[in-house]
């Protein structure tokens, strides 16, 4: 392009057109493009009016014939899905039907379990037993035993012990949870062997093997976990307090029969203090501080004049310390124990622990006070040297 | 950078003066009248509104998108959405800026989708010239090259930064108008513009030395 030839038209573009003509052609192309866009816009607006906002997208994607074919296929698919749902619903029994028909678990002979009723004392209790298809079994262990089936599903077996006693063996690894309702308590198991007795308002369970969960408003927190050799016996009580005197705990060795099946006349209403100390010792050995504390509290409540009551008070404070309760509560426990304890050995132990607790809480003056009190009472006691060292006495 | 911006905005003004002959319907009706009729579903009113504003919208979309293949789709989506939601427009005279705002929103969606496809490896195409399409054809090769560099740098910005910067510096919109078009607050659009300028400075002048008088 030469600036010395202003009158020569500049040749631009691939077509060799003059600039004004090229610009005109570009304008026409733009108009055509805008017009084409308007046609598409108009068609989409028509589809929106006809099919709605979302239907218009569908209408744009398919031709009329394709839409008709898709509609037929959709109707056929919907009918097929409906048939499948109907068949599945018809074949699947409801929970109520399953409970009454024992659809989940049947007896070994294929029959349905509804009830076990042994009323004739002459009938040996061993004859009153049922074995289920998965190998689980329920045996009447007492005369006049009445057991009802409440639910049998693929996941649950619920039995109600109206009265008497049963021995239950549940196959381990099974998919079902067994629940035995026995008046004031409910036993939940997955795979274990245990005995349940319900007699005259009292309900008890003793575990032979495995673990069961016992639920009752009379239990602390409403639930109790029982392992092999453990049991619980509940009496009807108006109170749901966990420390009610009606709650008793029986620790039985394995292979023993259900406590109440030995002789209802011989079973004591309340266990002895020795029994509760044994319960506490066993619980402390396995680290069950809550059970140990309950047992010791039972001793203090039921046997306040027992010679071992002060030991129970001291051990209760130790259990609370081992349970990791706040130090202030532990201090209160040992202080309370001091009010009961007369034994010199136990008192010196209480004082020594109180000194250590005060130091751990950063209460140096409190620690010195306890140390001074201990030395005043027992100047030549077991801990006198250590106490003097803390006080700086010679 | 300032020179480029001046050049591009000048091109914007020049291109906006191109009037497609024979396509505009009655110029006697104001936008308000046309919007009122379009709300009632009158296709002639919608037709008139479209052709009255399509060029401006197309130009803006082209600059923002940078790829002509998507411009037609975005243009159509814009006007379909505008006519579908026309009842929401209270002041008919503001139809032009309102539809531009819809176009900016559509561009934002398209850029976001494009970025996602690129990350997934489905879109490896190089961005096509957008601003070059609306430039004066008499521009020198050097200017064209500079615009190309600028466009490539713009493609690397996030879509909010890119859109805000183009509206502000190329389209010549005020900050308030840019904020309205982008549907963000004034403070946010200022932040976008400043961030975009910093990124463009870094991309075009990585040494950090820039003399606007060069």
Chain B nearest-CA residue for A53: B84
**B72 interaction partners in chain A (CB closer than 8 Å):** 33, 36-37
pLDDT-flagged residues of chain A (< 50): 1-14, 95-102, 121, 124-127, 238-269
pLDDT at site A67 = 64
Cα dihedral B198, B201, B207, B208 sign: negative
Is the pLDDT assigned to residue B9 strictly greater than 60? no
b/e A133-160 (16+ beta carbons within 10 angstroms → b): ebebbbbbbbbbbbbebebbbeebbbbb
pLDDT at site A252 = 36
Measured between CB atoms, which of A12, A35, A42 is closest to B23?
Answer: A35
Which residue is listed with tokens 């615009």?
Answer: B147
pLDDT at site B207 = 62
**B61 interaction partners in chain A (CB closer than 8 Å):** none
**A9 interaction partners in chain B (CB closer than 8 Å):** none
End-to-end CA distance of chain A: 117
| Main-chain phi, psi angles of A388, to 5 degrees | -65, -40
Task: Flag whether residue A46 sits within 8 Å of chain B, measured between CB atoms.
Answer: no
Gap from B39 CA to chain A (nearest CA, Å): 12
Give SS3 for B98: helix
Gap from A40 CA to chain B (nearest CA, Å): 7
pLDDT at site A9 = 40
Give the whole-angstrom CA distance, residue A144 versus residue A154.
30
For chain A, positions 1-20, list CB contacts with chain B under 8 A.
12, 19
pLDDT at site B188 = 92
pLDDT at site A79 = 93
b/e B90-114 (16+ beta carbons within 10 angstroms → b): eebeebeebbbbbbbbbbbebbeeb
> In the predicted model, what is the mean pLDDT of residues B122-145?
63
How deeply is B74 buried, as exposed, middle or buried, from its count of CB atoms within 10 A (0-12, 13-18, 19+)? buried
Which residue is listed with tokens 């005109």?
Answer: A24
Q: Which residues pair with A164 in a beta bridge?
A: A198
Give the number of residues written for chain A.
394
Whether the pTM exceeds 0.90: the reply is no
Gap from B18 CA to chain A (nearest CA, Å): 8
**DSSP per position, A154-188:** SSEEEEEEEEEEEEEE--TT-SPEEEEEETTEEEE
Give the whole-angstrom CA distance, residue A248 versus residue A266.
16
Q: Which two tokens stand for residue B176?
A: 């308030």
> DSSP class of residue A117?
E
Q: Which residue has the higher pLDDT, B211 or A55?
A: A55
Q: Are B200 and B150 in contact (CB under 8 A)?
A: yes
Q: Which two tokens stand for residue A153?
A: 């599903």
Q: What is the pLDDT of residues A337-378, one digit of tens each?
A: 998 888 888 899 999 999 999 999 999 999 999 999 999 999
β-pair type (A156-169, A177-182)? parallel
Is the pLDDT assigned to residue B119 strictly greater than 60? yes
Q: What is the ipTM of this complex?
A: 0.71
Q: What is the pLDDT of residues A57-99, one digit of tens each?
A: 655 555 566 667 778 888 989 999 999 998 888 776 554 444 4
pLDDT at site A255 = 37
> In the predicted model, what is the mean pLDDT of residues B44-57?
92
pLDDT at site B16 = 42
**DSSP per position, A143-161:** SSEEEEEEEE-SSEEEEEE
Q: Are A368 and A359 in contact (CB under 8 A)?
A: no
- Number of A–B residue contacts, CB under 8 Å: 51
Chain A nearest-CA residue for B51: A34
Beta-carbon contacts of residue A384 (< 8 Å; ≥ 6 apart): A375, A378
Q: Which residues pair with A234 in a beta bridge?
A: A203
């Amino acid at each position: 392009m030469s600036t010395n030839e202003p009158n020569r038209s500049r040749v631009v573009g691939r077509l060799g057109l003059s600039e004004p003509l090229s610009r005109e052609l570009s304008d026409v192309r733009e108009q055509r493009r805008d017009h084409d866009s308007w046609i598409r816009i108009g068609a989409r607006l028509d589809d929106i009016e006809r099919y709605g906002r979302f239907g218009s997208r569908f209408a744009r994607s398919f031709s009329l014939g394709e839409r008709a074919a898709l509609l037929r296929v959709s109707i056929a698919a919907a009918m097929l899905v409906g048939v499948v749902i109907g068949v599945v619903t018809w074949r699947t029994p409801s929970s109520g039907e399953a409970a009454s028909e024992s659809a989940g678990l049947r007896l070994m002979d294929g029959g349905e379990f509804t009830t076990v009723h042994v009323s004739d004392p002459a009938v040996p209790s061993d004859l009153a037993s049922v074995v289920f298809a998965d190998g689980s079994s329920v045996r009447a262990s007492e005369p006049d035993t009445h057991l009802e089936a409440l639910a049998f599903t693929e996941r649950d077996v619920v039995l109600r012990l109206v009265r008497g006693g049963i021995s239950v063996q549940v196959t381990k690894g099974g998919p079902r949870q067994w629940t035995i309702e026995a008046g004031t308590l409910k036993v939940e198991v997955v795979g274990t062997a245990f005995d349940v007795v319900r007699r005259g308002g009292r309900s008890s369970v003793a575990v032979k093997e495995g673990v069961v969960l016992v639920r009752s408003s009379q239990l602390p927190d409403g639930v109790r976990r029982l392992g092999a050799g453990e049991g619980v016996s509940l009496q009807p009580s108006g109170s749901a307090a966990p420390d009610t005197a009606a709650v008793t705990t029986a620790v039985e060795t394995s292979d023993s029969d259900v406590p109440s099946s030995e002789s209802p006349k011989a079973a004591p209403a309340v266990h002895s203090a020795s029994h509760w100390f044994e319960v506490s010792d066993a619980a402390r050995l396995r680290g069950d501080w809550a059970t140990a504390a309950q047992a010791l509290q039972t001793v203090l409540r039921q046997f306040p004049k027992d010679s071992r009551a002060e030991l129970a008070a001291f051990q209760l404070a130790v259990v609370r310390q081992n349970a990791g309760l706040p130090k202030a509560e532990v201090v209160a426990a040992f202080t309370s124990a001091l009010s009961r304890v007369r034994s010199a050995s136990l008192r010196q132990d209480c004082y020594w622990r109180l000194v250590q607790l005060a130091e751990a809480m950063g209460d140096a003056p409190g620690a010195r006070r306890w140390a001074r009190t201990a030395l005043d009472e027992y100047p030549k006691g077991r801990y006198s040297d250590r106490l003097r060292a803390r006080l700086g006495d010679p | 950078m300032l020179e480029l911006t001046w050049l591009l905005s000048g091109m914007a003004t020049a291109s906006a003066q191109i009037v497609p002959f024979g396509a505009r319907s009655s110029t006697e009706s104001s936008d308000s009248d046309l919007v009122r009729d379009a709300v009632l579903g009158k296709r002639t009113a919608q037709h008139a509104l479209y052709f009255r504003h399509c060029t401006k919208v197309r130009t803006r979309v082209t600059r923002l998108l940078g790829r002509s293949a998507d411009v037609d789709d975005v243009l159509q989506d814009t006007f379909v959405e505008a006519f579908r939601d026309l009842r929401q427009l209270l002041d008919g005279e503001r139809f032009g800026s309102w539809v531009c705002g819809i176009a900016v929103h559509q561009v934002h969606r398209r850029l976001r989708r494009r970025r996602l496809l690129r990350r997934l490896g489905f879109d490896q195409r190089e961005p096509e010239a957008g601003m070059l399409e609306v430039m004066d054809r008499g521009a020198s090769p050097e200017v064209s090259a500079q615009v190309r560099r600028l466009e490539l740098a713009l493609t690397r910005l996030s879509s909010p930064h890119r859109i805000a910067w183009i509206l502000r510096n190329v389209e010549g919109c005020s900050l308030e108008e840019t904020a309205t078009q982008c549907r963000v607050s004034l403070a946010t659009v200022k932040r976008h513009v400043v961030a975009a300028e910093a990124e463009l400075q870094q991309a075009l002048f990585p040494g950090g030395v820039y003399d606007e008088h060069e």
